[in-house]
Amino acid sequence: MSTTAPGRAIGAPLHRIEGPQKVTGTAPYAYEHNVENPLYLYPLHSDIARGSVKQIDASAAEALPGVIAVISHQNAPTLADTRDRELAILQSDEVAFRGQYIGAVVAETFEVARHAASLVRIPYDEEPHDATFTPDRDDLYTPSQLNAGFPTDTEEGDVDGAFSSAAVTLDETYTTPLEHNNPMEPHTTVAVWEGGDLTLYESTQGAHSVRRLISRLFGIDRDRVRVVALHVGGGFGSKGQPHANTVLAAMAAHVVEGRPIKFALTRQQMFACVGYRTPTVQRVRLGADENGRLVATSHDVVEQTSKIKEFAEQTANATRSMYATEALRTTHRLAALDVSVPSWMRAPGEAPGMYALEAAMDEMAIKCDLDPIEFRIRNEPELDAETGLPYSSRNLVACLREGAERFGWEGRDPTPRARQEGRWLVGTGVASGMYPIFRIPGSKVRIRSQEDGRYAVEIGAVDIGTGTWTALTQIAADALEVSVGEIDLRIGDTDLPSASVAGGSSGITAWGSTIFEAARAFRDRHGQNPSAGDTVEAGMPDNPDTQNYSMHAFAAYFAEARVHEDTGEVRVPRMTGVFAVGNVINPKTARSQFIGGMTMGLSMALHEESLLDPRFGHVVNHDFAEYHIPTNADVGEMDVTWIDEDDPYVNPMGSKGIGEIGICGSPAAVANAVYHATGIRVRDLPITPDKLLR
């Protein structure tokens, strides 16, 4: 399907607009932009976790034919703003974590740059470091706030009192490991500094946020920085905010002014300094009355951050509004270590937090002698417990019921280890999913009628592979009441009106609402038959309903796990996901996002774990040979569907963000199925075979 009737584009399963370009290899990713006479950058990473660089001896490297420059703190450009210590690289001899950038080699070819980098001699003054994450450290502290501005601690009612008088109680600790994002396209910058203007072809989730930060760091006018990101091969949060690799490329471009710099990280380098998911230790306490209704809930979290920059995930955020409970407490504590800076990764906070909560709910259902679906339904809240607001729409129960039907839950024998096929123990599990609707400000849209009769719809938003090119075209068509063939969408460039980051599953809400606003302004001013060249620009409209309603997407997940009795190998032949996400803009791309999210959930449950060696401070399994992600053979049948949900409050499209909900709750469905299969409750992810062998 390549076009639609006017006003009927939202909801149509359009093919990806850029699909033909992508499959023919002509869609330019950052590294593939044609620039003349480029140079190649290879970074120098620190080999110590704390201390200082004594000296950079580049003589052997500089003697190599083809080497143009060796950049270090001895000769790097001075930054105008050094407050962000992750980004303010090469400003002193200090080393704050292993893998930190301490320099770069620029050469005529990548191979020469890489070889020359190996010839740079760097003696250090090493100081003792501390990279050991444990929940019982005596220096844990309370951050001032969490990511996205959420409060650190919350308390409603007498949690301890309610817990001690509860008929049924659970007090367990769940842990999730350090994890790395690993988008297929590495972090990449092509930087050109010419006549005082800087152009960055960048692999990023937010072109305008890169421009804002880079112009501030270098102390140059925002108008003199252009960031282009037409196609991006995944981000998952690691490209949500610029990391030091972008600064390094811009510095090098400044040093060799006039010649473009190409810098793409290797897979191994991506484990050093582009962010990661903090490990978490989560103590969950639940108390219920004799009818299986929660009277006390507490969720206490310990995470790690870097000493040079604080990042605190909202791990217990979902717990604050997930179920009805009389008393509720959540806390977050941090250990600041000599490590690189954690950052956003695939539903930061909600993903690991929902794993712990939904595994605890499974355990608690068993203690209450209730079916886990029935236990969740009994604790369905009327209002959002945190804000006291009604939900704009909350169809978790419908998702659980629909999922139970599709998956074949009815008649399930809850006895663990009751079903066996040959040497395979077979079990099933369920979990709820939830993700908040974020409204990130800062977007603008320009609409212009073109000579060819089509409408240029312009916003500097980025498509990180999720289908934004297509979904925004559909939204624009309906907003202007024309067919999709009449829309000429332009995104991915700071020359276009500003756009908020493609993060927090917020893109379509922010950009789509703004497109609707601009379309209304355009029709008001220019009517149905505009002249070529007619233009309007509009900003993101306010949504007063955000003050009156609690807004979230919901889901239910089901998984079947088969565990081999002799080897502990876990197979997940099928998963079902049922989503309540308002109006689905494009069923085809949405389905891919749900499958992707659930695959990430499977991956979180069974595969992913970055192993940091505290003696040296680096991640040792820093490649796809040892950092496991599921391949096709690991993923069984993914049954994905969604319910009809009409939510008139969220935004003009009636849509909810769908990027991250797929990983919120799905890991617990797998873990709960493994318990049902084996009778072994593994509370520390990932569930590797060793943890199932007794």
Q: Which is nearer to ligand MOS, 240 or 372 (CB)?
A: 240
Interface with ligand MOS includes 553 (CB under 6 A)? Answer: no
Per-residue interface string for the shown chain with ligand MOS, residues 240-279, x marking contact by CB under 6 A:
x---------------------------------------
Q: Which is nearer to ligand MOS, 463 or 486 (CB)?
A: 463
Q: Which is nearer to ligand MOS, 395 or 506 (CB)?
A: 506
8 Å CB contact between 73 and 53: yes
Q: Please name the residue ranges forming H helices in 282-371.
A: 319-322, 350-367
Q: Which is nearer to ligand MOS, 655 or 678 (CB)?
A: 655
Residue type, 349: G
Q: What is the DSSP string of 154-195?
A: EEES-HHHHHHT-SEEEEEEEEE--B----SSPPEEEEEEET
Per-residue interface string for the shown chain with ligand MOS, residues 485-504, x marking contact by CB under 6 A:
------------------xx
Closest by CA to 404, choosing from 380, 383, 430, is 430
Q: Which is nearer to ligand MOS, 344 or 409 (CB)?
A: 344
DSSP character at residue 586: -
CA–CA separation, 329 and 611 (whole Å): 31
Interface with ligand MOS includes 205 (CB under 6 A)? Answer: yes
Contact with ligand MOS (CB under 6 A): which of 97, 276, 344, 594?
344
CB of 33 to ligand MOS, least distance (A): 23
Residue type, 66: G
Q: Which is nearer to ligand MOS, 76 or 146 (CB)?
A: 146
Q: Is 481 one of the catalytic residues?
A: no
Residues 216-235 binding ligand MOS (CB under 6 A) are 235
Residues 561-600 binding ligand MOS (CB under 6 A) are none
Radius of gyration of the chain (CA): 26
Please list, in sequence order, all residues whose beta carbon lies within 8 angstroms of the beta carbon of residue 512, skipping any fewer than 6 positions away.
471, 472, 475, 585, 651, 652, 653, 655
By beta carbon distance, the residue nearest ligand MOS is: 237
Of the listed pieces 7-15, 154-162, 236-244, 246-254, which binds ligand MOS according to CB under 6 A? 236-244
Sheet holding 124-126, edge to edge: 94-95, 51-53, 124-126
Q: Which is nearer to ligand MOS, 348 or 403 (CB)?
A: 348
CB of 437 to ligand MOS, least distance (A): 12
Closest by CA to 227, choosing from 250, 249, 197, 200, is 200
SS (H, E, C) 652-677: CCCECCCCCHHHCCHHHHHHHHHHHH
Per-residue interface string for the shown chain with ligand MOS, residues 510-539, x marking contact by CB under 6 A:
------------------------------
Contact with ligand MOS (CB under 6 A): which of 265, 345, 499, 650?
345
CB of 384 to ligand MOS, least distance (A): 21
Interface with ligand MOS includes 662 (CB under 6 A)? Answer: no
Q: Which is nearer to ligand MOS, 235 or 662 (CB)?
A: 235
Catalytic, out of 202, 350, 608, 660 = 660
Tokens of residue 641, six digits: 């569907």
Contact with ligand MOS (CB under 6 A): which of 99, 234, 237, 260?
237
- Classify residue 138 as exposed, middle or buried by CB count within 10 Å of its CB (0-12, 13-18, 19+): exposed
Residues 50-79 binding ligand MOS (CB under 6 A) are none
Tell me the three state secondary structure of residue 121.
strand
Tell me the three state secondary structure of residue 38.
coil
Tokens of residue 630, six digits: 């599921």
Position of tokens 């704050």? 96
Of the listed pieces 136-144, 159-167, 345-353, 531-539, which binds ligand MOS according to CB under 6 A? 345-353
Position of tokens 């897979």? 267
Closest by CA to 508, choosing from 477, 479, 475, is 475
CB of 330 to ligand MOS, least distance (A): 20
CA–CA separation, 627 and 67 (whole Å): 34
Tokens of residue 68, six digits: 């143009």
CB of 191 to ligand MOS, least distance (A): 23
* Binding residues for ligand MOS, total number by CB under 6 A: 11
Could you list the active site residues? 660
Rule CB under 6 A: which residues touch ligand MOS? 205, 235-237, 240, 344-346, 348, 503-504
